[in-house]
Amino acid sequence: MLLGLLKISGYSLAPAFQEGDYVLVSKLPLLIRGVRPGDVVVFDHPLHGRLIKLVDRLACGGNQMFLIGLNADSIDSRSFGLLPTSMAQGKVIWHFQKSK
């Protein structure tokens, strides 16, 4: 996905990202500088489908990422472990909050 608009479903990154918000996701920042801690990335997990998570830290020479959700009940690296940085399909470059 070079550029895409995705709708947030779920509360993994609440309160920063709420269900119904939209995010603009781009592959370009990952191609230029790679994955970095603090990035919010989108990826497809083989068991859990498409997820959006915060990159907490990198490991194994920067080739593995530890991903977290901000919600304590989030399914993230605390349950599925490190993932290869190559799984990141895009980085959130813009966040559109739903109208209240």
pLDDT in tens, 13-32: 999 999 999 999 999 999 99
Number of domains, the chain: 1
pLDDT of residue 94: 97
Which single residue is written with the structure tokens 């966040």? 95
Cα(85)–Cα(22) distance, rounded to whole angstroms? 23
What per-residue string of b and e applies to 35-47 under the rule 16 or more CB within 10 Å gives b? beeebbbbbeeee
pLDDT of residue 2: 83
Range(s) of the domain holding residue 20: 3-96
CATH number at 66 reads 2.10.109.10
Residue at 95: amino acid letter: H
pLDDT in tens, 40-82: 999 999 999 999 999 999 999 999 999 999 988 899 999 999 9
pLDDT in tens, 30-39: 999 999 999 9
